[in-house]
Chain A
Amino acid sequence: MNAPAGTFKERAHKALGDTNLKVALDRTTGNARTKRAAAVAAWPDFDEARKQSAAIKDHALDNFAYYLEQFERNALASGAKIHWARDAKEACAAVIDICRQAKAKTATRSKSMLGEEIGLPHALAEAGIRRVETDLAEHIIQLAGETPSHIIWPAAHRTREDVSRLFQQHHRDHRLLTEVEAMVASARHELRDDFFGADVGISGANYLVAETGAICTITNEGNAELTTTPPRVHIVTAGIEKIVATTEHALQLTRVLVRSATGADLTQYTTFHCGPKREGDRDGPEEFHIVLVDHGRTQMLEEMPEMLRCLRCGACLNHCVVYRKIGGHAYGGAYPGPMGSALTPVFDGLENTRDLPHACTMNGLCKAVCPVDIPLPTLLRDWRAKSFEAGYEPPGVQRALKIWTFVATRPRLYRAALAVALPLLRRLGKDGWISRLPFASAWTEARDFPTPPRQTFLAQIASGEQQ
């Protein structure tokens, strides 16, 4: 990823003042929440299925080396070529090398968050390879010169009016379109030649299936198959954590993934790809390459293994009160929202990204909607603790937390301090709310604080007010 401009706080502040962004985010995340809720309501045992899905992913991760080696063996047997990459640089180098060997001028690409994570768009540009994004949202942001702001809807920050203007400016057909259907038709027309003229097609993978050596793509548009089938070379880039034991497990996970992402029972196109063109095939790639990327996965296996379950459905983004206000770009990484705040410190270092785990209200909605039950609030809290231990927190915060710890671990002192603080705080309150707190004006600038009750909870118990 290219380093974003400014600090997280500056970006978030700017996003909060962007009314167009607010409209776009409200429309996209609102639609997503409504559709997911309807899909979940039609599945009484959904919550149990979430737990089973977590167990299915954990099974693959608990036997990681076994299944990854099985995948490799079966993929090689199908005629695929496997490339291993420890980090983003090695991964991009592997892709560029394959493109060069194929003498590729144009590469079509179907949306892959791993590709964004490793900075593949940038690497292709540097290598002089023309990149054509084929997912509609990726096409929109490529025209706008932007990065994705959502992992399912990369153009979630764009309204239909924005898209209409972009298409009028960039498409061969310069008519101003007002209906979404017409915009989709215009993109279909615009990208048709590139699908069939590209030298290389690049996709991601939702799963690596150990028992068959196949990789799975899940799309609604059909752009993945049109990206991977006509060109002579198909390159898959995938994080190693996409491993699952069997086709059956992959299909079972897809049930919860798709409902959590778009609210559909199944995406329009769920496709397993296994090796290159075979004898008698009329279509399909002659070369099939899979680039398997670590980029922090083995570190996560040690430090936060639950995060490796993530299916990249985006439900935690759509339900996050912070994401819904500031959108994806403010986060500054490839992945925004709760899952992004957990992942980005792994990729970009905690010191540079310590603001992200703090941008969370700990309301727990992200965990509640996660199809593989990732304890996101706990992971974010762990990052906060690590940031404190490493001394990354500002000196004022560190001092305040040390004082708090000293007082809070001494019950008599704590009660005495509260007895002094309560009447002072109550004097600041007006109509039940405190709008300015001394020494915490940065916090109260955008928030009000409820006026505390006259007595502490313990005192209320003692006096019989609370039963």
Chain B
Amino acid sequence: MNARDAIFSALRRLRPEHLLTDALDAQARELAAAMKTCLPPLEFSDLVENFTARVTADKVGATVERLADWSGLPEAVARYAETNGLEKEAALQPDPRLTALNWGGVRPAPLKPDTMLAVGAARGGIAETGSLVFHSGPDAPTLYNFEPLHHIVALEARTVVARFEDYAAAEKGQPQPRNVNFITGASGTTDIEGVLARGAHGPRRLHIVFIG
């Protein structure tokens, strides 16, 4: 018997299948629903406010600003670069919402392992933890989120949902992207004595710009 058959035959002997697919689906849904009755409370009813509180908390440590629309983003990036003593040069995630903007004083640059500053556009956000959501694809290569030392991410306020469950419900039955990244703050590690230090391998700083 090959390894696959041996494993499945042991599993079937120990846990004979008895439920039909529909009944299993229903049971899985009921379990998820039961969890929803005992979730950690949200501090604020406004989703952007809640997202901001979570992501700027000490243990996450990202920074946040809010713009009325996309057109102000290049200026916000230039401001960030100046404040942090960086060159006005950024690797731009090839998202049409970014590439359509007039970058004026910010020089677009290719993404490299030692890129100082990259600008991204998130697909959405999760208010309960202050997490950004990215789906990989031609307009969202995964490495834009991991190579730069400083990462500025634009997030449309209307795309923020309250809970993981809301994200899962919206994506149910949709094709699965190659990578789904939930990003919560900058890269960090507690591997030396449990003390938090930032900029382990991914970005040391995460700055989120709400749009709208």
Interface residues of A (CB under 8 A from B): 24, 27-32, 35, 42-46, 48-49, 52-53, 55-56, 59, 61-66, 68-69, 74, 78, 84-86, 90, 134-137, 140, 153-155, 158-160, 163, 180-181, 183-185, 187-188, 191-193, 195-196, 212-214, 220-223, 225-226, 229-230, 240, 245-249, 251-252, 254-255, 262-278, 280-284, 292, 294, 298, 301-302
Contacts and interface: CB of A to CB of B under 8 A. Distances in A.
Contacts of B113: 192-193, 195-196
Contacts of A46: 40
Interface string B41-62: 1000000000000100001100
| Residue among A153, A187, A223, A271 with most chain B CB within 10 A | A271
A48 B38 contact: yes
Given A43-B40, A268-B202, A283-B143, A137 B178 contact: no
B61 to A, nearest CB: 10
A116 B141 CA distance: 31
Nearest to A254: B164
A64 B11 contact: yes
Contacts of B39: 45, 49, 255
Interface string B17-50: 1010000100110011011011111000000000
B187 A268 contact: yes
B146 A294 contact: no
Contact of B190 (A226, A240, A262): A262
Interface of B: 2-4, 6-8, 10-12, 14-15, 17, 19, 24, 27-28, 31-32, 34-35, 37-41, 54, 59-60, 94, 113-114, 128-131, 136-138, 141-143, 145-147, 164-165, 167-169, 171-172, 176-195, 197-203
| Residue among B17, B130, B184 with most chain A CB within 10 A | B184
Given A65-B12, A266-B129, A185 B199 contact: yes
A267 B11 contact: no
Nearest to B34: A52
B10 to A, nearest CB: 4
Contact of B138 (A24, A214, A280): A280
21 contacts: A24-B193, A49-B38, A68-B7, A140-B192, A184-B197, A213-B176, A220-B189, A221-B188, A221-B191, A225-B181, A229-B142, A240-B7, A249-B32, A251-B164, A255-B39, A264-B60, A265-B40, A265-B54, A268-B184, A274-B177, A284-B179
Contact of A69 (B8, B15, B128, B186): B8
B166 to A, nearest CB: 10
A420 to B, nearest CB: 50
A383 B121 CA distance: 53
| Residue among A155, A180, A222 with most chain B CB within 10 A | A222
Nearest to B27: A59
A203 B191 CA distance: 18
A58 B142 CA distance: 33
A248 B183 CA distance: 17
A90 B2 CA distance: 11
Given A28-B193, A45-B39, A266-B129, A272 B24 contact: no
A266 B179 contact: no
Contacts of B202: 221-222, 225-226, 268-269
Given A160-B193, A251-B168, A52 B31 contact: yes
B193 A31 contact: yes
B2 A31 contact: no
B194 A27 contact: yes
B202 to A, nearest CB: 3
Given A251-B168, A294-B10, 18 more contacts: A43-B40, A45-B37, A52-B31, A136-B192, A153-B194, A155-B191, A184-B199, A185-B199, A223-B201, A225-B181, A246-B32, A248-B32, A248-B164, A248-B165, A251-B165, A264-B60, A271-B182, A282-B138
Contacts of B34: 52, 55
A286 to B, nearest CB: 12
A137 B176 CA distance: 32
B141 A283 contact: yes
